[in-house]
A and B are shown apart, each in its own frame.
Chain A
Amino acid sequence: MASLTGAGEFPSSPAIATGVAGSREQGAELVLQCRIVDGRVAEARFRAFGCPHLLAAASWLTERLPGLARDALERWDWREAADALEVPPAKFGRLLTLQDAVRSVARNWPGPAASTV
């Protein structure tokens, strides 16, 4: 297994937006964290439990999200990861976990006071 880009977590900070999706009982769990600077994602990290496709997609996502604003995360669709990584249809359901986590980050977007940290 190659090292997974973006694996890990940020130290606690008001600038960190965290999204959580899935559960181990369901076989797929993702914690996605984004560090927000000036209203955009500056850096993303993840922790994941699940199949290789979920782990690969979560790692890819940490390279895809930087530069995006909150509204882009609210619209983000799992099909982008499926296309980019050529994920087989049988695994599409697992990618919904990815989408749920991204939308969860958008919902937990830090307030204005934190956005310049």
Chain B
Amino acid sequence: MSEVIYLDNAATTAADPRVVEAMLECLGPAGDYANPSSVGHPAGRRARARVEQARADVAALVGAEPAQVIFTSGATEADNLAILGAARFYRERGRHLVTSRTEHPAVLDACRQLEREGFEVTYLKPGADGIVEPAQVDAALRADTILVSLMHVNNEIGVAQDVGAVGALCRSRGVLFHVDAAQGAGKLPIDVNRDCIDLLALTAHKVHGPKGVGALCVRREPRLGLVPLLYGGGQERGLRSGTLPTHQVVGMGMAFHIAVGEMGTDAARIGGLRERLWRGLAELPGVLLNGHATRRVPGILSVTIDGVEGEALLYALPGLAVSSGSACATTSGEPSYVLRALGRSDRLAQSTLRLSIGRFNTAAEIDAAVSAVHDAVRRLRAVAPVPRP
């Protein structure tokens, strides 16, 4: 067991050794480091072949054709390309979008940018369990709605949306459907065809791949229009100019290839560890589970612990790498907007801990984490004022 128990896999994961090995094969002087666009020589063609294998591996995890996969720098860029690119392309058709209040900032901030450009955005409020019902989406659609954006799995509370039902609804109404699957891909099944997803944002580093690479799956039939964010060499069918980082792309491909083969066993084992963790923490009085009890990704557990302040709890857990919310929002010092959207008070939202389990965690680490949290909560509650009536 390492000195610090890492339970922040929703923020990022350690690269799988098989991923590292594949990446190293593309970095050194003897490796496939050439520019994959330089297909005029064998080294470039070897790099191109590795990129195309990675493209096929990424596509296979989500039921797409390889030609649908556009590599990006990560899910944030993929979300921005999907939302800004589609809205700007179809702006003459309509200027209304629908999303939810609990999306990742990569989606919410892209939507706010579109509002500055004259678009209207409807932000749906999930239920107290974090679920956005398809009927809510249906009620929000208008004649001028061009895009619905809904995340597959929430990064703070781990709730999984019914993207298939929302996708079918959007397809029947002729509205584009974008899904941010950064947290869900490789953990829960998702299929762009079955789930009627037109634009699917992916990242490598949440599924034991490298940081700095992601992808956007774009519907091909019928062809979907996007205005690119970057201009330059015209790589990735002109949608994402810039030299492809072969080692990063290959790392993502290997991570997704592993996920195709091991998602079932990983999910069963990690889900079991999460239940073990939840049962242990639930023995503390005043502990609440955030989000739907069953419609969730295996690895993420968000708990509100009444009577302790989140930052103080983190400080009291030096042996655990956990989060008081999402890593993307922790620096703000504000209570989680996701938990507030679910109806938690500011006080309870500030008393929240996110623990997220990955492929390399063990039952012994879970037990040690439970013990550490019990001890820290007991000590913090001991110094807290007795609540006033």
Residues of A within 8 A of B (CB): 1, 4, 7-8, 20, 24-25, 27, 29-31, 46-52, 55, 90
Known contacts A1-B376, A49-B309: A55-B383 contact under CB 8 Å: yes
Question: Is the pair A51, B385 in contact by a Cβ cutoff of 8 Å?
Answer: no
Complex Cα gap A107–B312 (Å):
29
Task: Find the B residue at minimum CB distance from A52.
Answer: B315
Q: Which residues of B111-158 have CB atoms within 8 Å of chain A's CB atoms?
A: none
**Hey, which chain B residues are within 8 Å of A51, CB to CB?**
309, 311-312
Question: Is the pair B385, A30 in contact by a Cβ cutoff of 8 Å?
Answer: yes
**Hey, which chain B residues are within 8 Å of A30, CB to CB?**
385
Question: Is the pair A52, B384 in contact by a Cβ cutoff of 8 Å?
Answer: no
The answer to the question of B346 belonging to the interface, with a C-beta cut-off of 8 Å to chain A, is yes
Known contacts A24-B347, A25-B347, A51-B312: A1-B385 contact under CB 8 Å: no
Q: Closest approach, in angstroms, between the C-beta of A75 and any C-beta of chain B?
A: 25
**Hey, which chain A residues are within 8 Å of B347, CB to CB?**
24-25, 27
Chain B interface extent, by class: 20 to 34
Q: Which interface residue of A4, A30, A49 has the most chain B CB atoms within 10 A?
A: A49
Known contacts A27-B346, A27-B350, A90-B333: A48-B311 contact under CB 8 Å: no
Question: Is the pair B345, A7 in contact by a Cβ cutoff of 8 Å?
Answer: no
**Hey, which chain A residues are within 8 Å of B376, CB to CB?**
1
Q: Which of these, A1, A47, A90, contacts B384 with CB under 8 Å?
A: A47
The answer to the question of B364 belonging to the interface, with a C-beta cut-off of 8 Å to chain A, is no
The answer to the question of B316 belonging to the interface, with a C-beta cut-off of 8 Å to chain A, is yes
Complex Cα gap A8–B379 (Å):
12
The answer to the question of B382 belonging to the interface, with a C-beta cut-off of 8 Å to chain A, is yes
Question: Is the pair B346, A50 in contact by a Cβ cutoff of 8 Å?
Answer: no
Question: Is the pair B316, A1 in contact by a Cβ cutoff of 8 Å?
Answer: yes
Question: Is the pair B387, A24 in contact by a Cβ cutoff of 8 Å?
Answer: yes
Question: Is the pair A47, B383 in contact by a Cβ cutoff of 8 Å?
Answer: yes
Task: Find the A residue at minimum CB distance from B314.
Answer: A52
**Hey, which chain B residues are within 8 Å of A4, CB to CB?**
383
Question: Is the pair A7, B383 in contact by a Cβ cutoff of 8 Å?
Answer: yes
